Structure 1
Amino acid sequence: MKTVSKLALAAVFATGVSGMALVAPAVAKDKKEEAKPGLKLSPEVIKAGQVAQTAIAAKDFATAEPAVAQIEAAVKTDDDKYIAAAMRYDIEQQKLAVAQAANPNAPVNETVLAKPLDALIASPSTPAADRGRYAYRRGALAFNGKQYPQALQYFNKAKELGFNDPNLSLQIVKAKMESGDVAGATADLDATIAAQSAGGQKADEQLYRYAIAKSYQAKLKPQTLTWLKKWVTAYPTSKNWRDTIVLVGIQNNPLVPMDETQKIDMFRLMRATKSLADQTDYLQYADSVNRRGLPSEAQAVVKEGLATGKIPASNAMAKSLVADTTTAIRNDGPVAALEKRSEAAPNGKLAASTGDVYLGQDNYAKAVTMYRLALSKGGVVADDVNLHLGIALAKSGDKAGAAAAFGAITSSPRAETAGLWTTWMAAPAV
């Protein structure tokens, strides 16, 4: 046997989880180096290895291929097998790189890398510092081949072997997700984001979108709602708020089924988050509240849409709503009369309705008084009144009072709506 120095196999990762280049160990060049402790290789392996390494470096695959095959045929020891696997991996990786450079749009078949990688991971001659890298690369290979359970095993092995890469935790999440363990994967992702935040790094927005999409596809409503709220807390843009509100309660087949009356409070949240996007949003909102006897709120919404230019001045429906609500407001007369009647009423229904009128007029103090009167008199759906009480308190700036009102709600869909309003109170201003 001859001895060569044991050089670590260098694993350099390109963008993503694929594209690793391997540099195989150099063979001995002189007797002094041969005396160093290290790999003990068969003479046939050393001889063929010298030819293979030079040819691979020159991308002379016609010469390198038979030399690598000679190494594989001549192996006798674990060290021989290690060199054979390293050379096989190196030549196949180089072939793929050359082919991809020649035709970047052609599909890449990386399956030829699996066997040498498995051998490198298993070999007792592989330096400990490299084994984790190979496990990670093998996991990436399985993931790219949509072998997700296998990919998860290799990624976890890489972690166990001490491999440290910023993408590893996310790759474990993705492999677990694609393997069907959506709940477990999102829990891991949550921990990853928390760790990033603790380190002063803001998690990429795409991680939130990924968790939302996967939870939604798996029909995991609580997890989807949780991730939506985390998303708009971390990235509270008007667009993100609108997407969240539409997904939860406005679109066809929403996450949380709501009737038209219940959707009004979602439109109110759109208005609070400045996420009413176009004339459809404004007019649907205004028409809904107008048909439920709240002309002041309907008119305010239409005029706001006109002022922002999101409702064209020529829009016939907008003109009709302004005219109709002006007449209704005049006919309804002062709200103060409703207050007196509410106080004398046998139950809280009129007080709750009067609170809604004040809420639509942005008179939050009066609205709060009426809602509390309604709750004290009874005869109302407490969750409905508490939701509107919470909205009035939130918009008046009383976050503690609003949180208490929202927290008292237990039934769906009011509880989910309250959860979004609570998130809005805690999120940075849009």
Structure 2
Amino acid sequence: MKRFTNALFAAALLAGGASLAVQPAAAKEKDKKADGPALKLSKEVQAPAAAAQTALAANDFAAAETSIAQAEAAAKTDDERYISAALRLNLEAKKIGANQGSDASLAVPLKVLVTNPKTPAADIGRYNYELGRIATNAKDNAGAAQYFAAAQAAGYTNPNMTLQLVKSKADAGDLAGASTEMDKVIAAQVAAGQKPGEDLYRFMIAKSNQKRNGALTYAWLKKYVEAYPTAKNWRDVVTTFGLTSGGVATLDKGQKVDLFRLLRHGKALADQYDYEMYAQFAFDLGIPWEAKTVLTQGTSTGKIPSSSASASGLLAASNKSIGNEGSLSGLETRANTAANGKLAASTADAFFGTGEYAKAVALYRTALQKGQVDADAVNTRLGIALAYSGDKAGARTAFEAVKGQPRADLAGLWIEYLDHPPVG
């Protein structure tokens, strides 16, 4: 999506331009075989137009300018306006090729030609594309989008055009339009047996998130990990969704822990920060068992250095809290006989933290049955516990039961994860 080069464009324009047959009125019916459109020209236009052609062939820009100006002044019909604009286009393209012209001058005849009924249909798309190129370089994103769309509608094909249309729509604020066009780009590449580049997905994620369009950003985050489900990309997606300020969703600690759990299950926790932040949040939520598990794993994998004072302090605090809580079996018994599901839910969190997923699953279900709990939160964690235990079908059912936002989108990421876990 780089800036177009004028010199390259000029060469392409001259190579692809229709040849012009400047004919007087009487010759229109006589010479049907002349290249280009058969044009009916008055003597007032035909003479300077012919002179302009001769001057252009000799690269005599000054003489061509004089003759073209005369033809433009005398032009009264579509035929005459077409020949004048076509000659002007050739002159401006040649001047650009000689480093003497400008986009602004080139746009003048192009705008005349795309609206003239005498312009060959084969040229309409190409001329609109070049106007889109000029608008892009001038940062006129809305104008560029219109011209590229017109070029596309005229059947013009160019390997850069659709991506330029995506960019111009996005920069002009038409994110829905940009998304639709990018879907076309990706679909076309897939149909051609090609693998769409990661940059296409990252572009739409960045543009959508920049414009604070959460729904569209979320949709492209999921498309990204469907196409490229690496551990790094999963971490980037989860972080963009809710682990960073300015993300798609504003989450509380409990919801962030549920995202960290996804990364841990997919072996996508990246570094010391991930492990220690995850453990701190779990500890703050009253789940020291999980904090201890995370810190132990981080240290054993080398992600948390043994010299980390923060990790050592948090592990000591977690061990102390676990000791104060005592055996979980007593909590389990009380949870099963409690009047509501609150104790069952918190005890399930504790069992999840110790890795006893079957007990966590049973208690989450008890919590839902007894009620007076946040059903969306409990269903999310039920789904997570089932995923950790290897029951993907059961996990999907639990995640699909989550309805309120932002947990519905969080659960949606977990469903995406079940279908496209990290690879490589």
- TM-score (norm: length of structure 1): 0.82
Deviating runs (4+, > 6 A) in structure 1? none
Query: Take 2:52 and 2:64, find their aligned partners in 1: how far apart are those partners?
Result: 9
- Amino acid corresponding to residue 305 of structure 1 in structure 2: G
Q: Which moved more, 1:387-396 or 1:114-123?
A: 114-123
Query: Take 2:421 and 2:255, find their aligned partners in 1: how far apart are those partners?
Result: 25
Of 38, 49, 56, the residue aligned with 2:53 is 49
Query: Take 2:321 and 2:88, find their aligned partners in 1: how far apart are those partners?
Result: 83
Q: Which runs of 5+ in 1 are unaligned?
A: 1-13, 101-107
RMSD: 3.2
Match status 1:37 vs 2:26: no
Match status 1:146 vs 2:139: yes
| Cα deviation, residue 140, structure 1 | 2.3
Identical-pair percentage: 47
Deviations 1:328-348 (A, max 9, x none): 445544433433332232322
| Cα deviation, residue 36, structure 1 | 5.9
The aligned residue for residue 85 of structure 2 is 85
Match status 1:402 vs 2:389: no
- Amino acid corresponding to residue 355 of structure 2 in structure 1: D
Cα distance, 1:112–1:380 mapped onto 2, change above 3 Å: same
Cα distance, 1:49–1:238 mapped onto 2, change above 3 Å: same
Of 276, 280, 289, the residue aligned with 2:273 is 280
| Cα deviation, residue 195, structure 1 | 4.6
The aligned residue for residue 94 of structure 2 is 94
The aligned residue for residue 110 of structure 1 is 103
Query: Take 1:277 and 1:114, find their aligned partners in 2: how far apart are those partners?
Result: 51
The aligned residue for residue 26 of structure 2 is none
Alignment of 1:194-343 (within 5 A): 194-343=187-336
| Cα deviation, residue 211, structure 1 | 2.3
| Cα deviation, residue 387, structure 1 | 0.6
The aligned residue for residue 5 of structure 1 is none
- TM-score (norm: length of structure 2): 0.83
Partner SS state of residue 393, structure 1:
helix
Instruction: State whether residues 344 and 367 of structure 2, in contact with CA within 8 Å, keep that contact through their aligned partners in structure 1.
Output: yes
Of 332, 337, 349, the residue aligned with 2:342 is 349
Query: Take 1:254 and 1:339, find their aligned partners in 2: how far apart are those partners?
Result: 37
Instruction: State whether residues 215 and 223 of structure 1, in contact with CA within 8 Å, keep that contact through their aligned partners in structure 2.
Output: yes
Cα distance, 1:196–1:386 mapped onto 2, change above 3 Å: same
Q: Which moved more, 1:322-331 or 1:136-145?
A: 322-331
- Amino acid corresponding to residue 85 of structure 2 in structure 1: A
| Cα deviation, residue 404, structure 1 | 1.1
Of 12, 22, 36, the residue aligned with 2:13 is 22
Of 417, 420, 423, the residue aligned with 1:424 is 417
Q: Which moved more, 1:160-169 or 1:36-45?
A: 36-45
The aligned residue for residue 156 of structure 2 is 163
Instruction: State whether residues 386 and 394 of structure 2, in contact with CA within 8 Å, keep that contact through their aligned partners in structure 1.
Output: yes
Instruction: State whether residues 249 and 406 of structure 2, in contact with CA within 8 Å, keep that contact through their aligned partners in structure 1.
Output: yes
Q: Which moved more, 1:126-135 or 1:142-151?
A: 142-151
Instruction: State whether residues 25 and 83 of structure 1, in contact with CA within 8 Å, keep that contact through their aligned partners in structure 2.
Output: no
Cα distance, 1:27–1:407 mapped onto 2, change above 3 Å: closer
Query: Take 1:287 and 1:15, find their aligned partners in 2: how far apart are those partners?
Result: 47
Deviations 1:373-430 (A, max 9, x none): 2222223221111110011112223222111111111222222221111111122423
Query: Take 1:120 and 1:191, find their aligned partners in 2: how far apart are those partners?
Result: 29
> How many equivalent residue pairs?
403
| Cα deviation, residue 27, structure 1 | 6.8
Cα distance, 1:311–1:265 mapped onto 2, change above 3 Å: same
Partner SS state of residue 155, structure 2:
coil
